[in-house]
């Protein structure tokens, strides 16, 4: 009788099983949060023996961190494409970025839960989120006209606001009118940008 992995090279077998575990974790965490993410539940969802779980991950915290990395990379690609299409105008770039980030979350609400839902005690995931926030802040500071405190403060405020905006949108607390949320976010961020530019010109 032919087995599931017959004829498949060992490296590819492991990669496929890792992908199956990540898809299972995405389904479970997206539906139930971290409480539903147990080794047994993930393996049952993936239809894999538990030994294959430990072939790829030390525990569910490491699995969730890997899942976060996957979704964060996908979101990063979406944002990069949006900004490339938008060109150099700050307001147009902000609108494109906010719109496409929120739409990415809306297209599959499980993404929002993976990227923004609370996961108390999960240090690998918390570390990933801190790193992502720091990278976004560094990118914004690098785009500014100088590295002085005004640019850093403005970038810090914008970073925090954008992360919270995405979290509240993912939680459904901002309604379902994407255009209205984008318009408001762009108006407020443009005002912050103009104030920062005015302060730098003094």
Mean local confidence (pLDDT), 123-148:
76
Whether 117 and 180 map to the same domain: the answer is yes
User: Confidence class of residue 2 from pLDDT cuts 50, 70 and 90?
Assistant: very low
CATH number at residue 53: 1.10.10
Q: What is the mean pLDDT of the chain?
A: 86
Structural domain count, the chain = 2
d(C-alpha 125, C-alpha 131), whole Å: 10
Query: In this structure, is residue 4 part of a structural domain?
Result: no
Angle at 62 between CA 61 and CA 68, to 5 degrees: 90
Structure tokens at 73: 């990379």
Q: Which of 23-37, 42-56, 101-115, 137-151 has the lowest mean pLDDT?
A: 137-151
Residue linked to tokens 């779980």: 53
Q: Please tell me what DSSP assigns to residue 117.
A: S
CA distance readout (Å), 148 to 56, 194, 196 = 44, 16, 11
Instruction: Indicate whether 173 pLDDT > 90.
Output: yes
Residue linked to tokens 């297209």: 107
Q: Are 46 and 4 in contact (CB under 8 A)?
A: no
Instruction: Indicate whether 82 pLDDT > 50.
Output: yes
Angle of helix 10-32 versus helix 39-46 axis, rounded to 10: 110
d(C-alpha 13, C-alpha 19), whole Å: 10
Domain limits for position 52: 10-57
CATH number at residue 162: 1.10.357.10
């Amino acid at each position: 009788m032919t087995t599931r992995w017959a004829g498949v090279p060992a490296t590819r077998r492991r990669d496929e099983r890792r992908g199956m575990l990540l898809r299972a974790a995405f389904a479970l965490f997206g539906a139930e949060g971290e409480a539903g993410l147990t080794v047994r539940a993930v393996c049952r969802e993936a239809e894999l023996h538990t030994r294959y779980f430990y072939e790829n991950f030390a525990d569910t915290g490491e699995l969730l961190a890997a899942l976060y990395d996957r979704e964060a990379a996908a979101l990063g690609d979406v944002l990069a494409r949006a900004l490339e299409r938008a060109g150099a105008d700050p307001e147009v770039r902000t609108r494109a970025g906010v719109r496409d980030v929120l739409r990415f979350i809306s297209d599959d609400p499980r993404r929002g839960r993976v990227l923004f839902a609370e996961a108390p005690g999960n240090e690998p995931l918390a570390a990933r989120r801190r790193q992502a926030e720091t990278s976004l802040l560094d990118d914004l500071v690098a785009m500014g006209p100088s590295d002085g405190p005004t640019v850093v403060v403005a970038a810090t405020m914008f970073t925090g606001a954008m992360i919270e905006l995405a979290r509240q949108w993912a939680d459904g607390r901002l309604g379902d009118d994407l255009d209205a949320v984008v318009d408001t976010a762009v108006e407020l961020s443009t005002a912050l940008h103009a104030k920062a530019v005015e302060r730098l010109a003094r």
